[in-house]
Amino acid sequence: MNKIQFLLSFIVVIPFFSAFAIFSIKNNRSFISILASILALIMLGNIVNLFHNYDGNLNAISFVNIAKNLDIGLSLTGVSLIIAAIVIFIWLIMTIYSNEYFIFSNDKRFFAFKLFSILSVGFILLVIFSKNLISLFVFYQCLIFCLYFFNAYFMYEKDFKASHNFTFSLLASSLFMFLATVLTYKIAGTTEFMNQGILTSNISSKQYFVLLIFFILAIAGIALFPLQLLFSRLYNLNAPIIIMIFVISYGLVGLLILLKVILNIFGFEYFIKYTNHFNLSYVLNWVIALNLLFSGFWVMLQKNLKKMLIFLFFNQLIFAYFLFLILNQTIDRFVVVIISFILSQTLIFLCFGNINIYLLRSREKQLIGVFYKLRLTISLLCFALLNLLGLVPAIGLVEKYLLIKNYFTFGFNMNFLIILANLFLVFLVIIRIVYPMVDDDINHNQNDVILAKKIDHNLSFILPAFIVALLMFFSFIFSRNIIDHIKIFLS
């Protein structure tokens, strides 16, 4: 085992070791908080070490050999390293944030949340670093089962039917993942992830189409979650839970599976070639464009702040996919778009979490003039929201620059018009959210003022948000370096 393989194994083992440790000391809250935070930092340190030592090779480790060309193990690619870094970073942020959140919101499920979230992160990392499709399927199933119990524990009480349906849709989509894996093995004789794909030369159009449909249906369960969340009472979940379930588990894992399949199973060039052959890019273009406008209008129609922000998340996720389609379809630029999306959404959720706690415990329970109480939180929220429009010196500005550059290269077209329309809608949404907050403060309840100060000056609440905001700022400053590094990594 070489150094990289050792680091890789160490990274995936840490979450399970942490889960065991937390399980053993379940009654000691402060110890759990410290332990979880330290282990998250160790993970981050290790991932940085991996980045430093990455030599471009797969460095595969095989755990179990099942049959010919069928084994379960891990390997390292540029894309998986980047996404693992994002996951671990968000996990660290969320670990620090949730330490105080459960105390402030009087939620007694602190231990269960810590345990489930660490286990989920462990399985997510296994999915990220899986060396072939069968390994990915096995680890993905482990993740679904872990989240299955997580959902039952946290979501059932809010909306039993919706969470029941959601869990069922996850399991149903895993059926398609299974069929896609078997079909891939049948066609290619292997399920290994290769840099140029494994289906390039030996696949007919019909087989390609069937396989693509299976893979799309395989992540349909994840993709439908935002709709389940919005059209049920599940949107009432706590912010850390939403971050855990939404951003990390479903958003990132679904995205990663899609990327791995496109890059390492189909092969990027052949994927583009076949999608053009079926005119899928044209269809996809219009489907995504319509979804974008639809979600933008829905955000405008919401009266509940939480629902608005969740719809906004959905809108921005589709926006990210749309940008990928039109920005000359280069992976390095797409990674920049994803980083911008992840960081801004994380910051929005963190700020919103603070607002949520304030509203939960305040006497007046209103947003009007809340800026004058939660100055830091609302300022960071405004920073995150304006980043979506590219109006602040943050990573969002880089994304908008790439768009403008595209416009000057390819000229004005329908896609650009749709993007402008969406940006305008987002602008209106931001006004709707922020305006009441900066309106005259009519609530002079002293207890509310003290509460707001406690929240705003609590290190556990503000520090993660500051770190994310700083990252967004420095990503903008060093964007050129980031794009160059990503290009090198992915090549």
- Does 401 engage in binding with another protein (CB under 8 A)? no
- Does 6 engage in binding with another protein (CB under 8 A)? no
- Does 69 engage in binding with another protein (CB under 8 A)? no
The span of 134-142, 238-246, 293-301, 344-352 binding another protein (CB under 8 A) equals 134-142
CA distance 31 to 6: 28
- Does 182 engage in binding with another protein (CB under 8 A)? yes
Of 103 and 182, which has the nearer Cβ to another protein? 182
- Does 168 engage in binding with another protein (CB under 8 A)? yes
Of 37 and 190, which has the nearer Cβ to another protein? 190
- Does 64 engage in binding with another protein (CB under 8 A)? yes
- Does 171 engage in binding with another protein (CB under 8 A)? yes
- Does 65 engage in binding with another protein (CB under 8 A)? yes
The span of 1-9, 17-25, 183-191, 350-358 binding another protein (CB under 8 A) equals 183-191
How near is the Cβ of 118 to another protein at its closest, in Å?
18
The span of 44-52, 161-169, 385-393, 405-413 binding another protein (CB under 8 A) equals 161-169
Contact residue for another protein among 58, 112, 179, 391 (CB under 8 A):
179
- Does 217 engage in binding with another protein (CB under 8 A)? no
Of 168 and 410, which has the nearer Cβ to another protein? 168
Count of positions on this chain that bind another protein (CB under 8 A): 29
Of 167 and 458, which has the nearer Cβ to another protein? 167
- Does 20 engage in binding with another protein (CB under 8 A)? no
- Does 185 engage in binding with another protein (CB under 8 A)? yes
How near is the Cβ of 133 to another protein at its closest, in Å?
12
- Does 153 engage in binding with another protein (CB under 8 A)? yes
Contact residue for another protein among 89, 102, 137, 271 (CB under 8 A):
137
How near is the Cβ of 29 to another protein at its closest, in Å?
22
- Does 186 engage in binding with another protein (CB under 8 A)? yes
By the criterion CB under 8 A, which residues form the site for another protein? 64-67, 137-138, 141-142, 145, 148-149, 152-153, 156-157, 160, 164, 167-168, 171-172, 175, 178-179, 182-183, 185-186, 207
